[in-house]
Amino acid sequence: MAIVNGTITNSSPTSASSARETTIAEIGQHVDERVTLRGWLYNLRASGKLLFPIFRDGTGTIQGIVPKAEVPERVFETLKSLTLESSLTVTGRVRADARAPSGFELDVEDLSVTQRIPDETPYPIQLKEAGVDFLMEHRHLWIRTPRQSAILRVRATIMRAAAEYFDNHGFVRTDPPILTPNACEGTSELFEMEYFDDGKAYLTQSGQLYVEATAMALGRVYSFGPTFRAEKSKTRRHLTEFWMIEPEVTYMDLDGLMNLAECFLTHIVRRVLELHSADLKTIGKDITKLEAVVAGAPTDNSEDCSGSRSGFPRLSYDEAHAMLIDAHERGLLESMHKYGDDFGSPDETYISSQFSKPVMVHRYPASVKAFYMQPDPLDPSKALCVDVLAPEGYGEIIGGSQRIDDYDLLESRIQAHHLPMAAFQWYLDLRRYGSVPHSGFGMGIERCVAWICGLEHVRETIPFARTLNRIYP
Ligand code: 4AD
Ligand code: MG
């Protein structure tokens, strides 16, 4: 091996001297040129004196053509018996081919193997169908398959677009602690640990309480980091460790918050459509469903959320309840929603599948929501909160609310929820000293990825999912 311009190379393929090193993602810029790719053998098909290898390099896959008569014998023989996922460097000429899935093929000229996987210990994930448990047990390898790689690329863009939206609209990123002395979203789902002599500490369930403090300092803020919930249920929407992005804005009310959520989601979907049509195709997502989400949204690309919007439907809890009762009566929904209860997964799935855009359900009964939510002045039994349900039955992706800004009311809610008053003194200080109305929401990245990619289960939306029954690998 040698190091050339900071890249470790094998002794280069003999005829590669004039070939440009590139990636599969960029190969369209090199049609009719000779290029070198560094990656792995993803698949191999032989047909008489022709080999059809599929190479992958992390940015995509491309099919190679290797006619025995046209390449050195060494190249043909090496490739012919090469084991899947062996690592290699390949040089060849790029040809545009409308029939190829990527639009291009590589006429292989030379090849050098970095590591050949021995025949006795083949790559565990062969291309035939494998069960999900097996794949999750081999997640460290499963992520190499084109579909999983595509999902991870889309995830990265969703995370970048999410942060970018706030960065471009005057928000300051403020990172809350992961180790916390108090609960934010109910006490039944806390991961608990000993914290030296101070007693118990908990892994954060949400950065919200802390971004409320940083909002009072900086106005518009957001946090973005891992959050933890000891979810004891096995559902396709719950992880025990997931990433949340949480904006918090002073002097913003519930309507302003709904506008913000709409502009934010519009920006994310636009970004994914702009950058990932090939990946969405690999994943099998129908992009017309995503195009419908952003259809009609202002196209000035600024996604400025000041001023009202009406793109995403808005339903009160009462209206959503009526919709569920109607669905039950028409036999479209098995369970009957009980007024006053939270919505279950089937309820959310039903409501969200009625719309092509995300739907915002607001003003839930305060009794099913968190202690910090501001009561609706028109009906104090309701909270000024919103859940955004993704289309296509994906359910809740965003939860948020206006926060209680009155000291006495907040104190009484902390008491009523049997939360430890001492641990919340700093949070009450925010209402003691210059309290203002303020609002914020949290979006779980994995729920958003599951929706945008059209995935059955959130376990495929994060490189290494943590669930009730999995902490390996
Ligand atoms: O609705 P939640 O519980 O709201 C909060 O935590 C607020 N403190 C956020 C805020 O206002 N700043 O969670 C917010 C979002 C959900 O809508 C969902 O997308 C995601 O976090 N989420 C989960 N994602 C994966 N697995 C879980 N167990 C999740 N629990 C919540
Ligand atoms: Mg919620």
Give the residue among 361, 319, 320, 368 at the shortest CA–CA distance from 340: 368
Distance 455 CA to ligand 1 centre (A): 18
The half-sphere exposure of 209 on its side-chain side, counting CA atoms within 13 A, is 24
- 473 in a domain, yes or no? no
Strand boundaries in 97-254, DSSP class E: 104-115, 172-173, 179-180, 192-194, 200-203, 220-228, 241-250
Distance 90 CA to ligand 1 centre (A): 45
Question: According to the model, what pLDDT value does residue 180 have?
Answer: 94
Q: Is 2 helix (H, G, I), strand (E, B) or coil?
A: strand
| Domain's final residue, options 62, 84, 115 | 115
- 129 in a domain, yes or no? no
Residues 163 and 279 in one domain: yes
- 466 in a domain, yes or no? no
Ligand 1 nearest-atom number relative to CA 247: 12
Question: According to the model, what pLDDT value does residue 185 have?
Answer: 85
Residues 215 and 326 in one domain: yes
Instruction: Check which CATH number belongs to the domain holding 290 and give it.
Output: 3.30.930.10
Ligand 1 nearest-atom number relative to CA 398: 17
- 157 in a domain, yes or no? yes
- 304 in a domain, yes or no? yes
Residues 412 and 457 in one domain: yes
Phi and psi torsions of 23, nearest 5°: -120, 160
Contacts of 369 (CB under 8 A, 6+ apart): 383, 385, 401
Distance 111 CA to ligand 2 centre (A): 53
Residues with CB under 6 A from ligand 1: 184-185, 206, 208, 229, 231, 238-239, 242, 244, 246, 396-400, 440-444, 446-447, 458
Question: According to the model, what pLDDT value does residue 299 have?
Answer: 64
Question: According to the model, what pLDDT value does residue 76 have?
Answer: 97
Matching residue, tokens 């002794």: 11
pTM comes to 0.94
- 124 in a domain, yes or no? no
Question: According to the model, what pLDDT value does residue 9 have?
Answer: 56
Contact status, residue 363 vs residue 384, Cβ threshold 8 Å: yes
Residues 178 and 319 in one domain: yes
Number of domains in the chain: 2
Give the residue among 457, 141, 146 at the shortest CA–CA distance from 284: 146
DSSP percent split of the chain into helix, strand, coil, nearest 5 = 35, 25, 40
Mutate to test the pocket of ligand 1, among 206, 360, 398 (most ligand atoms within 8 A of CB): 206
Give the residue among 324, 334, 132 at the shortest CA–CA distance from 236: 132
Residues 105 and 155 in one domain: no
Closest ligand relative to 232 C-alpha? 1
Question: According to the model, what pLDDT value does residue 327 have?
Answer: 97
Local confidence pLDDT in tens for the 473 residues of the chain:
555 556 665 544 544 557 999 999 999 999 999 999 999 999 999 998 999 999 999 999 999 999 999 999 999 999 999 999 999 999 999 999 999 888 999 999 999 999 999 999 999 998 677 899 999 999 999 999 999 999 999 999 999 999 999 999 999 999 999 999 888 888 889 999 999 987 899 999 999 999 999 999 999 999 999 999 998 888 899 999 999 999 999 999 999 999 999 999 999 999 999 999 999 999 999 999 999 999 988 765 555 676 556 599 999 999 999 999 999 999 999 999 999 999 999 999 999 999 999 999 999 999 999 999 999 999 999 999 999 999 998 999 999 999 999 999 999 999 999 999 999 999 999 999 999 999 999 999 999 999 999 999 999 999 999 999 999 99
Residues 155 and 198 in one domain: yes
| Domain's final residue, options 82, 115, 148 | 115
Residues 90 and 162 in one domain: no
Give the residue among 410, 440, 403, 416 at the shortest CA–CA distance from 428: 410
- 123 in a domain, yes or no? no
Contact status, residue 184 vs residue 150, Cβ threshold 8 Å: no
Distance 163 CA to ligand 2 centre (A): 20
Residues 365 and 262 in one domain: yes
Instruction: Check which CATH number belongs to the domain holding 78 and give it.
Output: 2.40.50.140
Ligand 1 nearest-atom number relative to CA 401: 11
- 144 in a domain, yes or no? yes
Q: Is 229 exposed, middle or buried (0-12, 13-18, 19+ CB in 10 A)?
A: buried
Give the residue among 135, 3, 93, 10 at the shortest CA–CA distance from 465: 135
Ligand 1 nearest-atom number relative to CA 205: 6
Residues 141 and 288 in one domain: yes
Beta bridge partners of 444: 244
Mutate to test the pocket of ligand 1, among 188, 242, 244, 249 (most ligand atoms within 8 A of CB): 244
Question: According to the model, what pLDDT value does residue 5 have?
Answer: 59
Ligand 1 nearest-atom number relative to CA 399: 1
Question: According to the model, what pLDDT value does residue 18 have?
Answer: 77
Quote the domain boundaries for residue 14. Answer: 2-115
Residues 36 and 83 in one domain: yes
Residues 341 and 278 in one domain: yes
Residues 404 and 323 in one domain: yes
Nearest Cα residue to atom 24 of ligand 1 = 444
Question: According to the model, what pLDDT value does residue 199 have?
Answer: 87
Question: According to the model, what pLDDT value does residue 102 have?
Answer: 82
Distance 399 CA to ligand 1 centre (A): 6
| Domain's final residue, options 84, 115, 146 | 115
Nearest Cα residue to atom 11 of ligand 1 = 441
